[in-house]
């Protein structure tokens, strides 16, 4: 059995976004500089950002990440789907580091271990480690974070397959308890909808926003 490489090399650099560090940074900085947002009241704790290739989603993602330019966070919790089928409710990476053309991002191992211990105590399915995954929706958030934040950060990667509200609510409560008091940014990676017409998409967006607030 081959040992797991501690560094997860990017399977999507060169296709979903540029594999050239200078080109990638220039592209992301262009998205960030072209985005304008109203002044936010209060402390920003989370973002929603899309996860298509940057050609399609970069401009929209720029509006999300423009709000954190120059910020610092000790930890970024990135929650994404897992598009491949695996019979688990929740997954995480088996690697210790994510690599992108802009550098490496360390995985928060201690908090991940504690999350699984508390989920186990609550009789909830834990986050299963996944090696050599091809999942784009989580990784594609990392270069934007690397470009927007001024200091290195660690990532807690969570890939969700369960759609059970009870399980997700309990998991979220455990996670919230673990990160309370820490300087943490939560990123929800979602395209929301691909195929709806504009009016339907806007109506569904309002339903989502109402539930969030």
Domains in the chain, CATH or no CATH each: 15-38+47-212 (3.40.830.10)
Integer CA distances (angstroms), 193 to 36, 55, 142, 197, 199, in order: 23, 17, 22, 9, 12
Beta-carbon contacts of residue 110 (< 8 Å; ≥ 6 apart): none
With contact defined as beta carbons under 8 Å apart, do 118 and 188 qualify? Answer: no
Buried b (16+ CB within 10 A) or exposed e, 97-116: bbbbbbeebebbeebbeebb
CA 54 to CA 13: how far, in whole Å?
A: 11
pLDDT tens for each residue of 58-104: 999 999 999 999 999 999 999 999 999 999 999 999 999 999 999 99
Q: What are phi and psi of 9, to 5 degrees?
A: -70, 150
pTM, 2 dp:
0.93
The segments of the chain whose pLDDT lies below 50 read none
CA 122 to CA 158: how far, in whole Å?
A: 18
């Amino acid at each position: 059995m081959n040992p797991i490489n501690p560094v997860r090399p990017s399977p999507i650099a060169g296709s979903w976004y540029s594999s050239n560090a200078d080109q990638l940074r220039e592209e992301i900085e262009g998205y960030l500089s072209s985005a304008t947002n109203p002044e936010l009241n209060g402390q920003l704790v989370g973002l929603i950002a899309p996860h298509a290739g940057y050609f399609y989603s970069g401009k929209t993602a720029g509006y999300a990440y423009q709000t954190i330019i120059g910020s610092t966070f000790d930890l970024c919790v990135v929650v994404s789907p897992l598009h491949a089928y695996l019979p688990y409710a929740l997954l995480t990476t088996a690697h210790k580091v994510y690599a992108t053309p802009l550098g490496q991002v360390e995985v928060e191992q201690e908090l991940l271990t504690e999350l699984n211990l508390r989920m186990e105590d609550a009789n909830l399915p834990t986050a299963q480690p996944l090696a050599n995954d091809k999942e784009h929706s989580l990784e594609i958030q990392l270069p934007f974070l690397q470009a927007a934040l001024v200091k290195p950060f660690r990532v807690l990667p969570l890939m969700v397959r369960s759609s059970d509200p009870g399980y997700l609510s309990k998991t979220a409560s455990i996670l919230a308890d673990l990160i309370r008091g820490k300087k943490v940014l939560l990123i929800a990676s979602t395209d929301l909808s691909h195929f709806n017409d504009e009016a339907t998409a806007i109506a569904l967006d309002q339903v989502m926003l109402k539930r969030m607030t």
